[in-house]
């Protein structure tokens, strides 16, 4: 009997290599850390890659844009900074493919002549765990206390952040929700980001607050009620805008607002118009003349407060100053709530029919309110190994972006790059083509990203010069799977 022994000098076969040998028709996808093993005719867990005739293939089309709306350009200078274009075609990272891990060059490194300058655009799809959405919701309704958890399907996916002028703000996603919690939390967070980023509607609940449906470019729906107006301003600002239109038609106007409630005759605008003091003192903490904080609790009522009865805002009426017959308008900052009163002989406000001039002024407030909408900005950090798909010396790419020599776009759309270290960018999701975002089940979001810079600069920063290809060659090669779309450099309806 003869015994054979393995050659001790031969490398040990890995389980993966053994599986490949035993099932040669299966391909292993290296586009993300999951490393799906894909059988012929099937796709991986993210549906982005499939096995086509034994070859790993990006299943979605490569999106090309016609820049009819004018994609981002540098202001002045010898080169405009346009993403690479030929015959009005822009190559985007949507459908380009992923280079994870990024030891290998990006899927497309394209050279072309743009505005007389030889430029290079590096086109790829980034896998982002460090990403999220900033959601601006135009409403004066109280959605929830600052820092309150925001949930989707019961899982926390973000939090309420600081309110801005006329809008409530949410911060959704981020690496801690994607990877720092339970598997379900990460999956739900990823799905929420993906749906909102691709233009879909998502229902969210806020702890201690409301249920709200948000969709990029759509009106928010708060506790089942669709919002229509963004407030024209705080109570003080509303008085400043419309004071002269009330003069001669009302003796006092109170504009109810959760942040700053205004009282016309005390306000500087009323004094400038020489209006007689009315002696009506509202609740809350007086800031400056005619401007009051904390007149009520936040809520879904008048001016974003919990007030349902407008007279509840009045603390007292001074009999030494007020008079019978005094005409009083109480109105919200959107004009959606308004009431007209006349003081009786006992100086008690009595409901009365609103005069046409006052009704017109209230309507003017509503006319000056912009339509309530939700804005969704994608924010991500393009750091780490993603840059290695662009250059062998990643810090030089970062410096080129920070100095403005390299332009960052996402799906051909403009981005705002934050100052400071790294490449942290934001983009309006409505400026990207539809369904621009994907995912991998780690979980993480996949987003298109393009870096455009002069070819000489690209070579100086250690770019993969040997992988540069002419644009016309790429377009010819990708013709069968390319999809041509009009650019959306501006949000719909803008």
Q: 217 near 493, Cβ under 8 Å?
A: yes
Q: What is the DSSP string of 201-214?
A: -EEEEETTS-EEEE
In a domain? residue 1:
no
Residue 116 has a pLDDT of 77
**Edge-to-edge strands, sheet with 131-138:** 225-226, 221-222, 211-214, 202-206, 149-152, 155-164, 167-173, 131-138, 374-381, 424-428, 416-417
Q: 487 near 88, Cβ under 8 Å?
A: no
- Picking from 367, 385, 402, the residue at the C-terminal end of a domain is 367
Q: What is the torsional sign of CA 255, 256, 257, 263?
A: positive
In a domain? residue 167:
no
How does residue 85 score in pLDDT terms, banded at 50, 70 and 90? low
d(CA 326, CA 322): 7
**How many domains does the structure of the chain reveal?**
3
Q: Which of 88-97, 208-217, 223-232, 386-395 has the lowest mean pLDDT?
A: 88-97
- HSE (side-chain half, CA atoms, 13 Å) at 7: 4
pLDDT tens figures, 99-114: 776 678 999 999 988 7
Domain holding 459, by residue range, is 62-129+374-486
pLDDT tens figures, 235-275: 999 999 999 999 999 999 999 999 999 999 999 999 999 99
pLDDT tens figures, 33-70: 788 899 988 988 888 888 988 888 888 899 988 865 44
Residue 428 has a pLDDT of 97
Do 429 and 348 share a domain, yes or no? Answer: no
Do 254 and 349 share a domain, yes or no? Answer: yes
- pTM listed for this prediction: 0.86
Do 54 and 121 share a domain, yes or no? Answer: no
- Picking from 304, 334, 367, the residue at the C-terminal end of a domain is 367
In a domain? residue 493:
no
Residue 101 has a pLDDT of 67
Do 125 and 75 share a domain, yes or no? Answer: yes
Q: 86 near 56, Cβ under 8 Å?
A: no
pLDDT at 5 over 80: no
pLDDT at 325 over 60: yes
In a domain? residue 52:
yes
In this prediction, residues 401-408 reach a mean pLDDT of: 94
Burial string for 83-107 (b: 16+ CB within 10 Å, else e) reads: bbbbeebbbbbbbbbbbbbbeebbb
Residue 69 has a pLDDT of 45
Residue 100 has a pLDDT of 73
In a domain? residue 407:
yes
Do 397 and 318 share a domain, yes or no? Answer: no
In a domain? residue 107:
yes
d(CA 465, CA 391): 9
Residues forming beta bridges with residue 229, ordered by sequence position: 371
Residue 70 has a pLDDT of 44
Do 356 and 460 share a domain, yes or no? Answer: no
Do 334 and 383 share a domain, yes or no? Answer: no
* Counts of helices then strands in the chain (DSSP H, E): 9, 34
In a domain? residue 143:
no
Do 33 and 97 share a domain, yes or no? Answer: no
Q: What is the DSSP string of 156-199?
A: EEEEEEEEETTEEEEEEE-HHHHHSS-HHHHHHHHHHHHHHHTT
In this prediction, residues 70-90 reach a mean pLDDT of: 49
pLDDT tens figures, 411-454: 999 999 999 999 999 999 999 999 999 999 889 999 999 999 99
User: 163 Cβ partners below 8 Å, 6+ apart?
Assistant: 146, 169
Do 351 and 331 share a domain, yes or no? Answer: yes
How does residue 4 score in pLDDT terms, banded at 50, 70 and 90? very low
Residue 30 has a pLDDT of 82
Do 100 and 87 share a domain, yes or no? Answer: yes
pLDDT at 13 over 60: no
Do 267 and 321 share a domain, yes or no? Answer: yes
Q: What is the DSSP string of 358-403?
A: HHHHHHHHHHTSPBP-EEEEEEEE--GGGGGGTBSSHHHHHHHHHH
* 3-state SS assignment for residue 293: strand
pLDDT tens figures, 189-203: 999 999 999 999 999
- Picking from 58, 73, 108, the residue at the C-terminal end of a domain is 58
* Bigger pLDDT: 456 vs 18: 456
Residue 12 has a pLDDT of 55
In this prediction, residues 459-483 reach a mean pLDDT of: 90
In this prediction, residues 17-45 reach a mean pLDDT of: 78
* 3-state SS assignment for residue 414: strand
In a domain? residue 213:
no
Do 401 and 481 share a domain, yes or no? Answer: yes
């Amino acid at each position: 009997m003869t015994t054979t022994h393995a050659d001790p000098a031969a490398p040990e076969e890995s389980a993966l290599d053994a599986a490949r040998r035993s099932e040669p028709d299966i391909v292993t996808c290296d586009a993300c850390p999951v490393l799906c093993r894909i059988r012929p005719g099937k796709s991986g867990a993210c549906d982005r890659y499939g096995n086509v005739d034994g070859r790993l293939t990006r299943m979605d089309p490569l999106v090309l844009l016609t820049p009819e709306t004018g994609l981002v350009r540098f202001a002045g200078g010898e080169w405009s900074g346009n993403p690479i274009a030929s015959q009005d075609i822009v190559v985007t990272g949507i459908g380009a493919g992923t280079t994870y891990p990024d030891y290998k060059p990006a899927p497309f490194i394209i050279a072309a002549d743009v505005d007389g300058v030889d430029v290079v655009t590096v086109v790829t799809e980034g896998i982002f765990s460090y990403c999220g959405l900033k959601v601006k919701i135009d409403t004066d309704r109280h959605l929830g206390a600052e820092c309150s958890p925001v949930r989707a399907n019961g899982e926390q996916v973000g939090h309420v952040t600081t309110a801005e002028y006329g809008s409530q703000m949410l911060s959704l996603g981020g690496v801690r929700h994607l990877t720092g919690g339970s598997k379900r939390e990460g999956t739900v967070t990823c799905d929420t980001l993906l749906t909102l980023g691709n233009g879909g509607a998502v229902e969210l609940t806020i702890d201690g607050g409301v249920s709200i449906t948000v969709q990029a470019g759509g009106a928010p729906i708060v506790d089942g009620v669709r919002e229509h107006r963004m407030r024209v301003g705080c109570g003080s600002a509303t008085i400043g805008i419309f004071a002269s239109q009330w003069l001669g038609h009302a003796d006092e106007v109170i504009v109810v607002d959760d942040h700053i409630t205004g009282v016309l005759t005390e306000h500087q605008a009323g004094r400038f118009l020489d209006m007689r003091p009315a002696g009506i003192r509202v609740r809350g903490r007086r800031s400056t003349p005619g401007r009051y904080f904390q007149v009520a609790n936040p809520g879904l009522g008048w001016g974003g407060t919990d007030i349902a009865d407008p007279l509840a805002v009045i603390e007292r009426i001074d009999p030494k100053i007020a008079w019978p017959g005094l005409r009083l308008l109480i109105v919200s900052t959107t004009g959606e709530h308004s009431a007209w009163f006349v003081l009786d002989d006992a100086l008690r406000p009595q409901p009365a029919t609103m005069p046409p001039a006052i009704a017109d002024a209230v309507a003017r407030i509503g006319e000056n309110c912009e339509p309530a909408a939700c804005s969704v900005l994608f924010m991500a950090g393009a750091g780490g190994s993603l840059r290695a798909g662009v250059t062998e010396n990643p810090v030089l790419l970062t410096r080129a972006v920070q100095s403005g020599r390299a332009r960052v776009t996402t799906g051909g759309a403009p981005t705002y790059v934050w100052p400071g270290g790294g490449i942290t960018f934001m983009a309006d999701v409505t400026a990207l083509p539809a369904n621009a975002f994907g995912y991998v089940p780690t979980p993480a979001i996949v987003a298109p990203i393009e870096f455009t810079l002069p070819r000489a600069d690209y070579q100086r920063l250690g770019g993969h010069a040997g992988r540069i290809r002419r644009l016309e060659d790429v377009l010819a090669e990708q013709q069968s799977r390319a999809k041509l779309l009009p650019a959306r450099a501006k949000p719909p309806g803008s």
